[in-house]
Amino acid sequence: MAQRNGAAVSNGGAVARAAGAVRGSVMPEQLLEQLLAEVRQWRPVVRERIAEMEQRGDILPELLAWLRERRLFKLFVPKEFGGLEFTLTAAVRLYEELAALDGSLGWLVQIGAGGGFFVPSFPPEVARELFAPPEAVIAGTSYVGGRARRLPKGFCVSGYWRYASGAAYATLFTAQAEVEGEGIAAFAFRREEVTLIPEWEPLGMRATSSWSFEVRELVVPPERCFRVGQRLWEPGLSVYALPFSLFAYASIGAVAVGLARALAEEAELLGCGRFVQACAQELAEIRARFFELVAWAEGLSPESSPARAAELEREIAALLEQLRMSLLRAMPLLGMRAVLRPYALERLLRDLLTLYQHELLRMWWG
Domain annotation for the chain: domains and CATH numbers: 138-226 (2.40.110.10), 242-365 (1.20.140)
Q: How confident is the model at residue 231 (pLDDT cuts 50, 70, 90)?
A: very high
| pLDDT above 80 for 6 | no
Strands (E) across the chain are located at: 2-3, 138-151, 154-164, 172-179, 183-190, 195-197, 211-220, 225-226
DSSP string across 298-352:
HT--TTS-HHHHHHHHHHHHHHHHHHHHHHHHHGGGGGGGGT-TTSHHHHHHHHH
Stretch 215-244: mean pLDDT, rounded?
95
Residue type, 328: L
Nearest residue to 257 via CA among 67, 77, 147, 103: 103
How many Cβ atoms sit within 10 Å of the Cβ of residue 321?
A: 14
| Alpha carbon distance 312, 292 (integer Å) | 11
Give the model's pLDDT for residue 213. Answer: 98
The per-residue pLDDT for 362 is 82
Q: Are 334 and 188 in contact (CB under 8 A)?
A: no
State the Cα angle at 288 between 366 and 298, rounded to 5°: 70
- Model confidence at 364, pLDDT cuts 50, 70, 90, reads low
Q: What is the pLDDT of residue 302?
A: 74
Between 186 and 7, the more confident residue is 186
Strands 154-164 and 138-151: what pairing? antiparallel
Q: Which residues are within 8 A (CB) of 219 and not within 5 positions of it... i.e. 6 or more apart?
A: 151, 154, 155, 156, 157
Summarised one tens digit per residue, pLDDT across range 312-338 is: 999 999 999 999 999 999 999 999 999
Share of the chain above pLDDT 90, in %: 86
Buried b (16+ CB within 10 A) or exposed e, 206-236: bbbbbbbbbbeebebeebbbbebbeeeeebe
Question: What's the confidence (pLDDT) of residue 28?
Answer: 80
Average pLDDT over residues 291-309: 90
What distance separates the 2 farthest-apart alpha carbons in the chain?
Answer: 67
Q: Is the pLDDT of residue 44 over 90?
A: yes
| DSSP classification of residue 152 | T
**End-to-end Cα separation, the chain, in angstroms:** 38
pLDDT above 70 for 24: no
- Kindly tell me if the per-residue pLDDT of 7 is higher than 50: no
Q: How does the average pLDDT of the chain come out, rounded?
A: 92
CB of 354 closer than 8 Å to CB of 203: yes
CA pair distance 159, 301, nearest whole angstrom: 37
Q: Which of 284, 250, 252, 251 is nearest to 265 (CA)?
A: 284
The amino acid that residue 322 corresponds to is: Q
Residue 310 pLDDT greater than 70, yes or no: yes
Cα–Cα distance, 77 to 15 (Å, whole number): 23
- Range with lowest mean pLDDT among 147-161, 191-205, 296-310, 344-358: 296-310
Q: Encode pLDDT of 157-195 as tens digits.
A: 999 999 999 999 999 999 999 999 999 999 999 999 999
CA-CA distance, 103 to 110, in Å (whole number)?
11
Mean pLDDT of 232-261: 96
Tell me what pLDDT residue 19 has.
44
Confidence tier at 363 by pLDDT (50, 70, 90): low
Q: Which residue type does 163 have?
A: Y
- Range from 15-29, 108-122, 256-270, 344-358 carrying the lowest mean pLDDT: 15-29
Strand pairing class (183-190; 172-179): antiparallel
* Segment 258-280, tens digit of pLDDT: 999 999 999 999 999 999 999 99
Closest CA to 220 of 161, 146, 153: 153
Q: Positive or negative CA dihedral for 32, 38, 44, 50? A: negative
Contact criterion met (CB below 8 Å) for 189 and 173: yes
